[in-house]
Amino acid sequence: MSKVFNKIKNLKLKEKIQLIMALLLTLAIIVSIPVYAWFNHQRQIAELQRIKTPDLLYISAAYAEDVKYFQIPSIDVADENNTKHRQVFPFAVAGEYVPEFTLQLAHTTNIPFTYKIYEAEYYDTESAARTAINTKNQSIAEEADKLSYEYDAVKYDVKAKWTMLDEYTLSQRTLNAGDTLYLVKGNQVSGSYLNSTTSGNRLIASNKYHPETYKDGDSTYGQVQTYAEPLYWQSRKISSVPNPSGWGGNPFFKTFVIEISWDPSEVQNDKETDMIYISAYRE
């Protein structure tokens, strides 16, 4: 070891500076190896997280078929046989890697309809659906609130499978196009309007989301008719499946019914039209 120090001592000044710089560079390289490895590891983790990020969530028809099969036709509010003055229409939210989601409903208010969304329960036969309704009614005190098969159930024919979901094995049992289900109105989905106000006794939209709804700068921006301003309703943290714990990334669909009701003294068949929008997004 002394011979090494003697050789270093006898080096010229220029040679000593070169040796010190070489030693410092070597030390810097040794220190940087674990730091580079740590950064590389963190980058790989971030990439895996992005790859696994869920991006499958759709509004669909009632049994996860193409959304084109979800339709709300014209409503005959003067139908004398509709003594409850309401109708229900089924749809679903389908997705993957989504344990819970937010559901939104927006609609204009030309017609003073009342909109409510319920979870749907489905049965194989009409008799099973009627039995379920009778059982529910035993726990409902008010006669006006009791369910009826005519107004709170839907006989639903399954449509062609949606090609968007062909590669996924859904949690619900497989049904084919043409099979029949009987959907019954279940628990109401709790939610609230985000921009509601009243005009007289009528629920209408405030201008809270007017800039987001209508493009600022357009000639019609400040000339929107009162009932063309849409109401926005929202329900958050809806569970995709009954028990999300351990669900992982399994595909799912959850069926709902939207109920449209009216007061016959306020609504007539006058060819008015309202726009309805339904959307869902990940929590």
pLDDT at residue number 50 = 41
Q: Note whether residue 52 is domain-resident.
A: no
Do 13 and 127 fall within a single domain?
Answer: no
Question: Which of 47, 68, 85 is a domain's end point?
Answer: 47
Q: Do 240 and 100 meet the contact criterion of CB atoms below 8 Å apart?
A: yes
Do 179 and 64 fall within a single domain?
Answer: yes
Do 122 and 166 fall within a single domain?
Answer: yes
145: helix, coil or strand? helix
Q: Note whether residue 138 is domain-resident.
A: yes
pLDDT at residue number 24 = 57
pLDDT at residue number 11 = 57
Residue 178 corresponds to which amino acid?
A: G
pLDDT at residue number 98 = 84
- C-alpha distances in Å from residue 189, one per residue of 65, 238, 239, 256, 259: 22, 8, 11, 9, 11
Q: Note whether residue 235 is domain-resident.
A: yes
Do 160 and 235 fall within a single domain?
Answer: yes
Q: Note whether residue 14 is domain-resident.
A: yes
Q: Return the structure tokens found at 159.
A: 């449509």
pLDDT at residue number 170 = 61
DSSP the chain: -HHHHHHHHTS-HHHHHHHHHHHHHHHHHHHHHHHHHHHHHHHHHHHHHHHH---EEEEE-TTSB-GGG-------TT-TT-TT-EEEEEEEEEEES-SEEEEEEEE--SS--EEEEEEEEEESSHHHHHHHHHHHHTT---GGG---HHHHEEEEE--PBPGGGTT---SSPP--TT-EEEEEEEEEPP-EESSEEEETTEEEE-STTHHHHS-TTSTTTT---GGGS-EEEEEEEEESSS--TT-TT--EEEEEEEEEE--TTT---S-----EEEEEEE-
Do 271 and 165 fall within a single domain?
Answer: yes
Do 186 and 168 fall within a single domain?
Answer: yes
pLDDT at residue number 40 = 53
Do 13 and 89 fall within a single domain?
Answer: no
Do 124 and 15 fall within a single domain?
Answer: no
Do 129 and 19 fall within a single domain?
Answer: no
Q: Sort strands 202-205 and 114-123 into parallel, antiparallel or unpaired.
A: unpaired
End-to-end CA distance of the chain: 67
Do 137 and 277 fall within a single domain?
Answer: yes
| Number of domains forming the structure of the chain | 2
- C-alpha distances in Å from residue 191, one per residue of 3, 105, 107, 194: 85, 10, 15, 9
Consecutive 10-residue averages of pLDDT for the chain (283 residues): 56 60 57 51 45 67 90 86 92 87 94 95 95 95 93 94 66 78 95 94 91 74 84 94 68 92 86 89 82
Q: Note whether residue 23 is domain-resident.
A: yes
pLDDT at residue number 147 = 95
Domain containing 4: what range? 1-47
Q: Note whether residue 188 is domain-resident.
A: yes
Do 18 and 90 fall within a single domain?
Answer: no
Q: Do 96 and 54 meet the contact criterion of CB atoms below 8 Å apart?
A: yes
Q: Note whether residue 86 is domain-resident.
A: yes
Do 97 and 169 fall within a single domain?
Answer: yes
pLDDT at residue number 52 = 42
Q: Note whether residue 149 is domain-resident.
A: yes
